[in-house]
Structure 1
Amino acid sequence: MKSIQLEQFDIAHLKLREIPTPTVGENEVLVKTTAVCLEFHDLIVVENRIPFGIPLPHIPVSEGVGIVESVGHKVTRWKKGDRVIIPFISRWEAGKNTPYNDQLRTGFSLPGLLAEYSVQPENTLVRTPDNLTDEEAAPLSVGGLTVWTCLVEQANIRAGQTILVQGSGGVSLFALQIAKMFGLKVIATTGSKEKEQKLKDLGADEVINYNAFPEWSTEVKRLNGGIGVDVTLDVAGTDTIEQSILSVKQHGFVGLIGLMTGTKLTIDLVPLITNYVRLQAYSVGNAQELNDFVKAIEKNNIKPVVDSVFPLENVQDAFYRFKSGKAFGKVVVAFER
């Protein structure tokens, strides 16, 4: 089968190679990959920004969808031709995550999805939403699910609240779409004049250009009647955490879901403690939560925002597009059907 092998660390060393097609066990499913989506941690792996000790060669990318090609003889949930979302943490079926579940992560301890086929467990595959193409559904299992669980399960968002959405990457756009689905007022930030209107077209009630307002928490409060927002998701880490904390109201929620500008945080505890701010780190979710997310997408006809789609042979271009920071929405790699 065709696969993309990372033979040395760096985007330039992603190479198209032929490798054997894997075989399924009795409770496993062989999935033919149709589309994958790039996440920031995929770039971290490819460029070895954080050394995870991944041996090379390695098949990267952790998020995608496909079609069932064959099943093990004990599999009852799936049949050939079913459209499925491939799990990131393949053992996490329900409940809280555990160290046992966490041992197996697609694109890290397991081979990633830049390959024509992968073997998946029967019990954590989730059906692809009927209203989405494979390219639109590719970002659901990591980017989309992280936002869904953080906002719905952790922050417990509800109509009438206000959320601050930071930036215009695919994860932040999921936050905007889910927030509007639940009836929240949305204040969004961007550093691009061009993207300001795109955010408004997607449903943002107010947009702040953080180049014009470097201490954007003050502008957030001005646009929200002088008080902070109920919720924000910090996607950048080091450079934004201080403003994120200052942007929320008393008893506000700051979800820590990204580290684009760094992993080390310097936090002033005074506004954190005096305003009873909740900091909650979170990533992805379980198969049960992903299934709930799929139902919400179908019921509300949510369409994830796709910036661009690249063929497998142009995977390096896809990574360079993602790394540029110019994308509005998700960068997807599609396989030949």
Structure 2
Amino acid sequence: MEVIALQSPGGLDRLRVEDRADPGQPGPGEIRVALHGSSLNYHDLGIVLGKMPSADGRVPLADGAGVVEAVGQGVTEFATGDLVVSCFFPEWQDGTPTIGDFSGTPGDGIDGFAQAAVVRPATAFTHAPKGFDAVEAAAITTAGLTAWRALVVDGKLKAGDTVLLLGTGGVSIWALQIAKAMGATVIITSSSGDKLERARSMGADFTVNYREQQDWGRAVRDWTGGRGVDHIVEVGGPGTLAQSIEAVRVGGHISLIGVLTGASGEVPTAALMGRQARLQGLIVGSRREQQDFVRALDMGTIRPVIDRRFALDQLADAFRFQMNGEHFGKVGIEW
């Protein structure tokens, strides 16, 4: 069976096509899935570049979707022919967070989905949303569920709330779609005028070019009449957090879900205290939250934005495209 494996110490030139043994038939409680789609995340990029070291020969990609080929004894949730999608934390089934590392995350602590087929516990997957293809379904595993948890599960988003999104990557565009579907007002930032125009065409109510307006936190606050925003999906980290705190309302919610500007830095604690805002770090979500998200997507009002699709044997090229930062929404892998 053909797989894409990453050789230590990492790097795009260290991705290799290998022939490995077929995973065989599922045992009790397991399913065999023929994989057909994935999507790229910055977590995947960090693994492949060696910035987040993993085992030599690791199969990358945290997102995976495909068709059930066989079910093991005792499996009743899935049947042959079902389109299913993977879970980022397969061991976190429900309840409050219980996992603080990536030891069980596909593509990191265990082999991911850059391969033809897998045999895994049935609880490592959920049904895919109705009408989605494999690439669209795979886009919910990491980016989609992160946006859902930030806004709906933990943020308790309601109609009339105001949401600030940073950039136009996978999480932010998912959040834009979720927020608009729920009747919220959305503000989004980017350094690209073309991307901001596209965001406006998708319903964004106010846009800010952060290169042209470096004090974008103040611009956002001014646009809200001085009140500030209810929710912020903060993907930048230390380089953007001060501006996010400037933009949030008193008692608002900041979901810290990314560190694109660095892994550590100063937090303006006095400003955060003055806002009395909730600054919450979060990583994706549980299987139960993914099932709830899928039920919402089954309503048919949201489809993920896939900027471009690459074949599995073009995986290195797909990562290069991701690194250029030209994409809007998700970068898909299809085979």
Structure 1 residue 146, shift from structure 2 partner: 0.9
Corresponding residue of 2:22: 21
Q: Does 1:311 find its partner at 2:311?
A: yes
**Counterparts of 1:267 and 1:311, CA distance in 2:** 41
**Counterparts of 2:325 and 2:205, CA distance in 1:** 23
Any residues of structure 2 matched to 1:135-284 within 5 Å, and which? 135-284=135-284
Check the 8 A contact 1:89/1:101 in 2, yes or no: no
Check the 8 A contact 1:90/1:120 in 2, yes or no: no
Equivalent position SS for 2:111: coil
Corresponding residue of 1:107: 107
Q: Deviations over 1:244-276 (max 9, x none)?
A: 111101001110001112110311111111110
Q: Does 1:46 find its partner at 2:24?
A: no
The alpha-carbon distance between structure 1 residues 267 and 259, as it changes in their structure 2 partners (threshold 3 A), is: same
TM-score by length of 1: 0.95
Check the 8 A contact 1:181/1:300 in 2, yes or no: no
Corresponding residue of 2:77: 77
Q: Which runs of 4+ in 1 moved over 6 A?
A: none
Check the 8 A contact 1:241/1:265 in 2, yes or no: no
Check the 8 A contact 2:181/2:301 in 1, yes or no: no
The alpha-carbon distance between structure 1 residues 104 and 317, as it changes in their structure 2 partners (threshold 3 A), is: same
**Counterparts of 2:131 and 2:108, CA distance in 1:** 30
190-199 or 117-126: bigger deviation: 117-126
Structure 1 residue 159, shift from structure 2 partner: 0.7
Equivalent position SS for 2:298: helix
Structure 1 gap ranges (5+): none
Corresponding residue of 1:31: 33
**Counterparts of 1:32 and 1:277, CA distance in 2:** 45
Whichever residue aligns with residue 30 of structure 1, its letter is: R
Structure 1 residue 98, shift from structure 2 partner: 1.9
Equivalent position SS for 1:310: strand
Q: Deviations over 1:185-217 (max 9, x none)?
A: 101101001111100011101110001111100
**Counterparts of 2:12 and 2:296, CA distance in 1:** 35
Structure 1 residue 102, shift from structure 2 partner: 6.2
Report how many aligned residue pairs link the two structures: 333
Equivalent position SS for 1:259: coil
| Percent identity of equivalent pairs | 35
Whichever residue aligns with residue 213 of structure 1, its letter is: Q
Structure 1 residue 50, shift from structure 2 partner: 3.3
Whichever residue aligns with residue 45 of structure 1, its letter is: I
Check the 8 A contact 1:165/1:176 in 2, yes or no: yes
TM-score by length of 2: 0.96
Whichever residue aligns with residue 203 of structure 1, its letter is: G
Structure 1 residue 298, shift from structure 2 partner: 1.9
**Counterparts of 2:11 and 2:183, CA distance in 1:** 42
Structure 2 gap ranges (5+): none
